[in-house]
Amino acid sequence: MRRLVPLCVGLLFCLAVAASAVAQDRVTIGIVTATSGPLAAPGKFQVNGFKLAADEVNKKGGIAVAGKAYSVELKIYDTHCSATEGASAMERLASFDKVPVVLGEVCSPVAAAEAVVAKADEVPLILTVPTAANLTEPKNDNPYLFRVNADNDMLDAALAKYIAAQGWSPLGFIAWNNDTGRGGVADLRKLLPPDIEIAYVGYFNVGDVDFSSHVSNLRAKNVKAVLLLMDEEPGALATKQIRQSGFPVQLVGTLAMGSNKFLERVDAKSIEGMVQYSNFPPAAEMPAIRNFNAAYKAMFGEESHGFAAQSYDGLMVALEAMQRAGTVSDGKAIRDALAKTDHQGVIGHIVFDSNNQNNPPVFITQWCGDGTRRIVAPADAVGACGTG
């Protein structure tokens, strides 16, 4: 019996030594987004993209920085699409959690509030979904704010070009009553040629579910096409109410309306012919997109989404910057490395301009009657149903 104690102690000691021999240091990446409330759906896609990137990196042994291996851990805070909560979460990540970089956000006004903290605390903030153009304009002068995804100006330019080519006039809008919605309407007014008349503009608040007054106004103005500047959930409600009214208007949506998650909320026949801008056509015959879609489906059991792809790329860009900077703690060095990013991502070649804005390709996709999509612009990417 006396030999059992030394044997047990020795075994525990050996296990401890073995564990320490294989243990990795960890680098914690901050994530801010809406994981609850009306914008939880896009927030979920965003988080899924981050999780997929972290999972892939960790399965390969983590990242090597200055001769050390680090596993990647995500620290996620729910901002509820509130500027106050976003700024508070950013401050906590910078001061208490001491993360080297923060990614995410869904709402542009929240991103603006978080960016102020990022600059003050010298912690890089990489946006992967917000589209308000003013976030990365020169007047903001924030060297710690970067954006992977296209801004409204880029998205609207592609959409305006397509609408003008189709000759859809008069036009109508139903848009968010926020910076994103109002900014989108203002941008398209400037971009559309004079012969495209804008006959109706209606705004709604986040959480609104009744679009009947807008539908009546669109019908009264006899618009030929309506632009739904909104997210997946309100977009599905507005689409159903327009179709149920019997008004045969051309539907034009946003990136959020170009995925199978949107299709699950409506039916294929009701959105046949609907077009939307997209940074990421999930079924496109492009190797990077095809591979990402397969990996996403294997992990989450559903088709991938543009918000997830942009977020996946954002985390990969952040990790590469830390490797080039040779640090997982020096925010300024990581910021300098981010500014020199040259990364081939899922959404395309990622290079930040002098305003720390990436300029990814923008596609226009269209829903087919069988529930698939096709690319209708640009001309060199046009494909058949099932390739969008």
SS3 label, residue 343: strand
Same fold? 25-150+287-350, 153-278+363-381 = yes
What residues contact residue 225 under an 8 Å CB cut-off, 6+ apart? Answer: 163, 166, 168, 171, 172, 249, 250, 251, 252
Residue 265: pLDDT over 90: yes
CA gap 48, 217 in Å, rounded: 38
Report how far residue 131's alpha carbon sits from residue 111's, in angstroms, rounded to the nearest whole number: 10
Q: What average pLDDT score do residues 186-190 get?
A: 93
Q: How far is CA 213 from CA 76, 183, 223, in A?
A: 39, 22, 15
Mean local confidence (pLDDT), 247-268 = 92
Give me the pLDDT at residue 23, please: 47
pLDDT surpassing 90 at residue 138: no
User: Taking a C-beta distance cutoff of 8 angstroms, is the pair 235, 228 a contact?
Assistant: yes
How far apart (Å, rounded) are the C-alpha atoms in residues 79 and 77? 6
Could you give the angle at the alpha carbon of 304 between the alpha carbons of 253 and 280, nearest 5°? 50
Q: Rounded to two decimals, what is the model's pTM? A: 0.86
Nearest to 367 by CA among 350, 388, 352, 339: 388
What was the pLDDT predicted at 18? Answer: 32
Instruction: Calculate the alpha carbon distances from 203 to 55, 177, 206 in Å.
Output: 40, 5, 10
> To the nearest whole percent, how much of the chain has pLDDT over 90?
82
- Per domain, the residue ranges of the chain are 25-150+287-350, 153-278+363-381
Q: What local confidence, expressed as pLDDT, does residue 24 receive?
A: 65
pLDDT band at 39 (very low <50, low <70, confident <90, very high): confident
Contact between 312 and 346 (Cβ < 8 Å): yes
* Architecture of domain 153-278+363-381 in this structure: 3-Layer(aba) Sandwich (3.40)
Nearest to 176 by CA among 130, 116, 242, 138: 130
Residues 59, 217: Cα–Cα separation, whole Å:
54
User: Which of the residue ranges 226-230, 255-259, 338-342, 369-373 would you say has the lowest mean pLDDT?
Assistant: 255-259
Mean pLDDT over 311-319 rounds to 98
What is the mean pLDDT of the segment spanning 318-339? 98
Q: Please give the full DSSP string across 346-374, using - where no structure is assigned.
A: TTEEE---TTSB-----EEEEE-TTS-EE
* 25-150+287-350 topology per CATH: Rossmann fold (3.40.50)
Residues 6+ apart with CB under 8 A from 159: 188, 227, 252, 277, 364
